[in-house]
């Protein structure tokens, strides 16, 4: 018998706000976190907008000396983890630290540190490279810092599957708990790659939105005038907890984690497989794992990047999995407001999915003025929708053909 797993805490650092309340209020109010790039001079780039985290002070969560020795992606992760633990009410003095783990997703790691130190080497020579360069840059260090900061001595791992990283991490966390290897796992994702080098790289691929004149309208999932994704940054961390462990301490439960599906397109380094067949297999896998039928799903938090092929193929994938129910299920892309957090996307989007179940509110897809060709489902345009949500899935798909889906249900005591 697999053990049951629930979400008992969430923490967010995002372009639409830091903290659960600010994040959720912004999403349900249709607030965009996208603006002109401020971290570097983007004047000569075709894309000049991004979804930056604003007003983040790492010293609210870390000692100043510790903060200086962390790249921003690790700072975001530690901050979100501490907020998630506080939200969960979990007292680790009364818990078994050796059965508390961290499984984190991160697509790129400390790119800001990498870029800074490359400039140091070029301009000042090899001898001026910081001794903290490697431990600040490597992708696993966010998970390591969370474990050290919170003294969690169970498994501590990092999943790197591009934009599917955080969702794959959540799936791995689910398995650890289901199989009885842990009582608690902090999971989700973090990313801080809004720097000139990575930004110019995505521009060279022609993957990002070029709608620079009105930044708040630049991210347009499923819309006819979409021109690419908007890069975002931040961290979304969830406390996954074994149900009996949570009930024993009277924990507040946001939702139950019931299924996980993962697949690979095995097709192309960046393009999704034709008709979204790989994405469809991930959704089918999550539903099968959860023991749910397609008609049980009330809400899909779509990958919805606002790139031409992704939105169209995800729509086709949903139709292939859900059949007639595809026309009835509510779908939204919160990337219309947060931008695309790359490896962290699945973390904040699973939080949004859990809060949609908990509060009975589906966040909207803003900027959806004229649905694109073939994008003919219910994407909850412009305004949030208040409806009961019993079950939902969250999709993320990444370069390299990685696809991942997590299924959640409303927790019903006694069931």
Give the distance, in angstroms, between the CA of residue 31 and the centroid of all CA atoms in the same chain.
Answer: 18
Stretch 35-44: mean pLDDT: 97
**End-to-end CA gap in the chain:** 15
According to DSSP, the β-strands at 299-301 and 330-332 are: parallel
| Percentage, residues of the chain above pLDDT 90 | 99
pLDDT score recorded for residue 140: 97
Q: Sign (positive/negative) of CA torsion 190, 194, 195, 201? A: positive
Average pLDDT over residues 253-277: 96
The verdict on whether 170 is a catalytic residue reads: no
Smallest Cα–Cα separation from 72: which of 89, 56, 92?
56
Q: Over 80: is that where the pLDDT of 6 sits?
A: yes
Q: Which two tokens stand for residue 245?
A: 């462990």
> What was the pLDDT predicted at 272?
92
Nearest to 368 by CA among 214, 220, 154, 168: 220
> 375 and 365 in contact (C-beta within 8 Å)?
no
Mean pLDDT in residue range 114-132: 96
Q: How far apart are CA 191 and CA 193, in angstroms?
A: 6
pTM score, whole prediction:
0.97
Which among 335, 381, 336, 338 has a CA at the least distance from the CA of 362?
381
Neighbouring CB atoms inside 10 A of 321's CB total: 23
Q: Work out the mean pLDDT of the chain and round it to a whole number.
A: 97
Where do the DSSP E strands lie in 280-333?
299-301, 330-332
Kindly report, residue by residue over 312-366, the tens digit of the pLDDT.
999 999 999 999 999 999 999 999 999 999 999 999 999 999 999 999 999 999 9
Half-sphere exposure in the Cβ direction for 184 (13 Å, CA): 31
Which residues are CB-contacts of 369 (< 8 A; sequence separation ≥ 6)?
Answer: 220, 223, 224, 225, 381
390, pLDDT greater than 90: yes
Cα three-residue angle 397-164-353, rounded to 5 degrees: 85
pLDDT at residue 92 is higher than 90: yes
Residue 414 has pLDDT above 90, yes or no: no
Model confidence at 391: pLDDT above 90: yes
* HEC secondary structure over 14-78: ECCEECHHHHHHHHHCCCCCCEECCCCCCCCCCCCEEECCCCCCHHHCCCHHHHHCCCHHHHHHH
**Taking the alpha carbons of 258, 90, 348, 376 in that order, is the dihedral positive or negative?**
positive
pLDDT for res 91: 95
Which one from 106, 163, 182, 375 is the annotated catalytic residue? 163
Alpha-helical (H) ranges within 95-153 are 111-124, 133-137, 141-150
413 pLDDT higher than 90: no
pLDDT, position 1? 84
Alpha carbons 188 and 347: distance in angstroms, whole number: 4
Express as a percent the part of the chain with pLDDT over 70.
100
CA distance linking residue 327 with residue 314, whole number of Å: 14
Domains (range + CATH), the chain: 7-248 (3.40.47.10), 259-409 (3.40.47.10)
Query: Mapping DSSP to helix (H, G, I), strand (E, B) and coil, where does residue 277 land?
Result: helix
Mean predicted confidence (pLDDT) in 190-211: 96
Angle at Cα 68 formed by Cα 65 and Cα 71, nearest 5°?
145
């Amino acid at each position: 018998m697999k053990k049951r797993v629930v979400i008992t805490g969430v923490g967010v650092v995002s372009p639409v706000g830091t903290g659960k309340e600010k994040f959720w209020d912004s999403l349900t109010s249709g607030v965009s976190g996208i603006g002109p790039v401020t971290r570097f001079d983007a004047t000569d780039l075709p894309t000049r907008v991004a979804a930056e985290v604003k007003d983040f002070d790492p010293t609210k969560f870390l000692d100043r000396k510790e903060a200086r020795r962390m790249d921003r992606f690790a700072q975001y992760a530690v901050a979100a983890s501490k907020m998630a633990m506080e939200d969960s009410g979990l007292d680790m003095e009364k818990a078994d630290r050796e059965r508390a783990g961290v499984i984190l997703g991160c697509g790129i790691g400390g790119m800001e540190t990498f870029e800074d130190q490359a400039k140091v080497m070029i301009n000042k020579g090899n001898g001026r490279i910081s001794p903290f360069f490697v431990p600040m840059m490597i992708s696993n260090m966010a998970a390591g810092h969370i474990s050290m900061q919170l003294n969690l001595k169970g498994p501590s791992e990092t999943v790197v599957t591009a934009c599917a990283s955080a969702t794959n991490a959540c799936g791995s966390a689910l398995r650890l708990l289901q199989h009885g290897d842990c009582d608690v796992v902090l999971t989700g994702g973090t990313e801080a790659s809004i720097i000139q080098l990575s930004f110019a790289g995505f521009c060279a691929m022609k993957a990002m939105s070029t709608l620079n004149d009105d930044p708040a309208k630049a991210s347009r999932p499923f819309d006819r005038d979409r021109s690419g994704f908007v890069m975002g940054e931040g961290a979304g961390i969830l406390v996954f907890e074994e149900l009996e462990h949570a009930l024993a301490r009277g924990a507040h439960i946001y939702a139950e984690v019931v299924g996980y599906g993962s697949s690979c397109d095995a097709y192309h380094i960046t393009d999704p497989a034709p008709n979204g067949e790989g994405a469809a297999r991930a959704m089918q896998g999550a539903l099968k794992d959860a023991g749910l039928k397609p008609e049980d799903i009330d809400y899909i938090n779509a990958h919805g990047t606002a790139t031409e092929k992704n939105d169209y193929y995800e729509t086709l994938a949903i139709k292939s999995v859900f059949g007639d129910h595809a026309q009835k299920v509510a779908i939204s892309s919160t990337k219309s407001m947060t931008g695309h957090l790359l490896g962290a996307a699945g973390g904040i989007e699973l939080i949004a999915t859990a809060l949609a179940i908990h509060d009975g509110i589906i966040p909207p897809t803003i900027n959806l003025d004229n649905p694109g060709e073939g994008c003919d489902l219910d994407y909850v345009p412009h305004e949030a929708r208040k409806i009961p949500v019993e079950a939902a899935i969250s999709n993320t798909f990444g370069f390299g053909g990685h696809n991942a889906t997590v299924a959640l249900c409303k927790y019903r005591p006694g069931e």
